[in-house]
A and B are shown apart, each in its own frame.
Chain A
Amino acid sequence: MIAIIDYGMGNLHSVSKAVERLGFTAVVTSCEREILAADGAILPGVGAFGDAMAELKATGLLETVRGFARSGKPLLGICLGMQLLFEESEEHGVHQGLALLPGRVVRFRGPFKIPHMGWNRLKFHGSSPLLQGVEEGHVYFVHSYHVLPDHPADLLATTDYHQPVTAIVGRGNVFGMQFHPEKSGVIGMKLLKNFLSLCRESRNIANSR
């Protein structure tokens, strides 16, 4: 069972439908007990960083997400959800994030269109079970802020938008995708499927103990 964390922001319906299409059970929930009991959790997010952190605090889910990350079970942040995993963002003022991964979130700056919106190509760095069997093709981005991770080892994939832009991050059980895998056609679905397989493996290991 995969928990799609509902803190009031994010395209929950599309994410949960995508998970179901891949053969897993998805539960859109804001209930701490349900989330902590899940085999894997997805933190979606659309909107502004500060608002999202405020909602996570107000709903009590901030500690739930941290608790889930500590459990060692796979956690995936999507779009704003990925940005929230980091330490801070400069969107509409400086806001603290979940600090599960070191790094910060900054605005795109330059003589080009903002937001970065549309299909862009992935370039993989290093290997990860998340990238298993995935082609370096186009996925769908839509964001005005991007992540600068502190540790190169956490950077699993970038895309090029007038500079290398963080696309996929991962360390241990915590992963993030800046693009929307549920909106990224075949490649997106494969990445999501790989994440879900990690959740299943994690459950199988736990059950065999």
Chain B
Amino acid sequence: MLAKRIIPCLDVKDGRVVKGVNFVNLRDAGDPVELAAIYDREGADELVFLDISASYEGRATMVEVVKRTAGEISIPFTVGGGISSVEDMKRLLRAGADKIGINTAAVKQPQLVADGAMKFGSQCVVVAIDAKYNESWGEWEVYTHGGRNATGIKALEWARRVEELGAGEILLTSMDADGTKDGFDLRLTRAVSEQVGIPVIASGGAGKPSDFYDVFTGGKADAGLAATIFHYKELTIQEVKEDLKRKGVEIR
């Protein structure tokens, strides 16, 4: 049986891992390759690197980080952040990334999803969707630019669309749950997971081990992503996995 996956996420700026809240007061938190290796040893099933560099140099540095990481760890990793062309994707995949993630660029040019899937295969293309509940619609809305811009697009429709375009996986972040540590957004996650035939990684809200259990069962997610709780060592991957195993969830 296919196991559920636990995925830590590292924010990287100019080649260094950074910690901060909502991208403010960023502190250097170490070398991404070292931290990646530690997560690999601690039992992470995959890793996500989010490149939040604003500059061209920062982005070029990321390629170096990817090369070094690919040589050090033996689990798959995804790189996202600022990817806006097939060339960007190619550079990162050639450097050793297993998957690339696109968010804002996919909304601005949906064809990019299809182009990436055609050229590299769907399994390499993860579309990240940031969604927030819109009270007046009674459903979720897609946001871009790091959660700053409301797009007017319905999240469930967008999820179906990206699957049609060829995305191999969706990384779904609930803006309502993100940072709360009150648990993943189960309603949103289940709604998206039921709409699409591709795997869904839930993101936003993880605080305790049972949150992962809930998002894998009630939320129907295939994987759970968390950043803060793992970085600040509030929770370890082993604690999460032991809890899941005890509850009968297939986990590595």
B35 close to A (CB within 8 Å): no
A46 close to B (CB within 8 Å): yes
B223 close to A (CB within 8 Å): yes
A107 close to B (CB within 8 Å): no
**Partner among B74, B76, B168 whose Cβ is within 8 Å of the Cβ of A189:** B74
Question: A47-B121, A142-B123, A143-B123 known; A183 and B75 CB under 8 Å?
Answer: yes
Q: Which residues of chain B are within 8 angstroms of A99 by Cβ–Cβ distance?
A: none
| Nearest CB in chain B: distance from A48 CB, A | 6
B123–A46 CB distance below 8 A: yes
B1 close to A (CB within 8 Å): yes
User: How many contacting A-B pairs (Cβ < 8 A)?
Assistant: 95
Interface size of A in residues (CB-CB distance below 8 Å): 35
A119–B122 CB distance below 8 A: no
Bound complex: CA A186 to CA B75 (Å): 10
Question: A13-B70, A17-B71, A47-B121 known; A115 and B168 CB under 8 Å?
Answer: yes
Bound complex: CA A15 to CA B5 (Å): 22
**Partner among B40, B121, B222, B252 whose Cβ is within 8 Å of the Cβ of A46:** B121
B197–A13 CB distance below 8 A: no
| Nearest CB in chain A: distance from B87 CB, A | 16
Q: How large is the interface on B (under 10, 10 to 19, 20 to 34, 35 or more residues)?
A: 20 to 34
For B119, give the chain A residue with the smallest CB separation.
A47
| Nearest CB in chain B: distance from A25 CB, A | 15
**Partner among B3, B5, B40, B96 whose Cβ is within 8 Å of the Cβ of A11:** B96
Q: Which residues of chain A are within 8 angstroms of B119 by Cβ–Cβ distance?
A: 47
B67–A13 CB distance below 8 A: yes
Q: Which of B42-88 contact A (CB under 8 A)?
A: 45, 67, 70-71, 74-76
B124–A46 CB distance below 8 A: yes
B199–A118 CB distance below 8 A: yes
Bound complex: CA A62 to CA B96 (Å): 24
Q: Which of B201-239 contact A (CB under 8 A)?
A: 222-223
Chain A interface mostly? mixed
A128 close to B (CB within 8 Å): no
Bound complex: CA A69 to CA B98 (Å): 28
Q: Which of A1-54 contact B (CB under 8 A)?
A: 11, 13-14, 17-18, 21, 46-48
A153 close to B (CB within 8 Å): no
Q: Which residues of chain A are within 8 angstroms of B122 by Cβ–Cβ distance?
A: 115, 144
Q: Which residues of chain B are within 8 angstroms of A17 by Cβ–Cβ distance?
A: 70-71, 96
A47–B197 CB distance below 8 A: no
| Nearest CB in chain A: distance from B47 CB, A | 11
Question: A118-B199, A183-B76 known; A14 and B3 CB under 8 Å?
Answer: no
Q: Which residues of chain A are within 8 angstroms of B169 by Cβ–Cβ distance?
A: 117
Bound complex: CA A18 to CA B70 (Å): 9
A125 close to B (CB within 8 Å): no
B120 close to A (CB within 8 Å): yes
**Could you say which of B71, B76, B119 has the most chain A C-beta atoms within 10 Å of its C-beta?**
B76
A94 close to B (CB within 8 Å): no
A117–B123 CB distance below 8 A: yes
Question: A117-B168, A185-B74 known; A138 and B123 CB under 8 Å?
Answer: no
Q: Which residues of chain B are within 8 angstroms of A180 by Cβ–Cβ distance?
A: 76, 98
Bound complex: CA A182 to CA B123 (Å): 17
For A185, give the chain B residue with the smallest CB separation.
B74
A184–B74 CB distance below 8 A: yes
Bound complex: CA A158 to CA B3 (Å): 15
6 closest residue pairs by CB, A with B: A17-B71, A13-B96, A138-B252, A119-B252, A119-B3, A47-B121
4 additional A-B residue pairs with CB within 8 Å, beyond A13-B70, A17-B70, A160-B1: A115-B168, A119-B3, A143-B123, A189-B74
What is the interface of chain B, defined by CB distance below 8 A to chain A? 1-5, 40, 45, 67, 70-71, 74-76, 93-96, 98, 119-124, 168-169, 197-199, 222-223, 252
